[in-house]
Structure 1
């Protein structure tokens, strides 16, 4: 892709973003904020964890986004008996009695890890290297995954039966943790009307893999003012109880705060959010826009917060 300068390229990115949203909204109703955050994560080279009760169209959202991106897409249904080799791949003996590695469903551009907390930690951890390094090691060999590589995992709330909580190391690999809530009444009316009739509206592909890679590289070039950088790093430091920068609400209600990866994602997410909304450099409002989804799964409440029924989002609101 060639543009006169980076400003023209950022303008093209905003146009693609609007086109993507318009196509996705042909199928997904009333989840505009969720769509925005998934696309911010995509162009930031991050991964997304979607959390919500069954029936909120988490899987449909991911499959619709995959159709608009024109990338190779695989869905992995996580179950209690799923093994690491079921997602990475396995060695077999071929007709000439030589070992041959058969690639698993992880070898795609977009991975839907459906109900990731339905499978034991051994299989959950098989995603760790792939999500962080964009590569896997199997049968003693190193395999690079295709780029772009984007994991969208769905999760049922932990309170539900038959779930395994994701370990903190796995959670930290996700850029965003996005809560899906019940739709508004008017949106639910539209959903029911369209899904119980012959209505069909297939989304079109509007962006290619090479374009996505180009725009992901472009985001890294977006300049950030020192005051925005300072705000993002200070915000992450405020979540860590017991240090010189911690906020009072953190000392009072948090057991564990966000690490340096949160600071990196706050800056990267702010850059992408700014670019997708027509700005050429992020401001503090862009950091605030992405902060809840970045911090939500990186801070852990203490017993006092549990006893007083303080939610993570309440604590983040106070930090902001």
Structure 2
């Protein structure tokens, strides 16, 4: 990842920006390189938070934070390069436990970073798609999370409906291709709409839930492939501040089979790359695009042809294989 930032710095240095603009852009690039996305993952007990984290990220390199303060007691902190994951204990194990965990979530959501901004960029609430009883989850969203989100609520709250493969007790799941058949697809759409409507009624926030399956590890160590994981990743990245997006990519799960099955409605894997890389240039070159012939430099560096700044994303995506192409297959 550091090599990619070095490449971007080279592009800026070789552009036709004047020296003042170059230094301004390089300074912003350095800030982006060190920017830490913070993602809180929470939900009711048994929803699959751990399996989701393991599916998305290379958690073998994760280190649980030490020296936890009382405000975040019971919330595990994982550092993956510049990405920080906060894993909240599940709710639904008892009134007193839920009160303690809710307090930890509220304290974390209202905590600010060194720049005075809210520390947590996005909250991913995971629901159990195989369960009809989501009362605990709605209470968590309506009464604990939503009141603490501040501005941009619709971009800071994400809803994932896990265990899509067993949403109808395993019926209509195509285990060979790791995706739902038409009957299950319709069932999942209806569940997504129901969740959307319940959250909208309770909070006034319009959220489009994502149905997915994080897969699971067999007792023999075989990993069951995921479904819609690239879609879930795209929605996480696309709602994180632009200057932080690329750093989410640093420790993704390198098992290609985890990213290959989705609903086919969009090219989520390219969307992930475009949002990540585009976010860097949106934040670094902001306000300095007019009259700067940087597009050709980007295109030339990545092996594509870019004529204008407006084409830089296409140029990068066209030659991105050396960076993320291997990861997504």
Q: TM-score, normalised by structure 2?
A: 0.32
With a CA cutoff of 8 Å and minimum separation of 6, indicate the structure with the bigger relative contact order: 1
Q: TM-score, normalised by structure 1?
A: 0.33
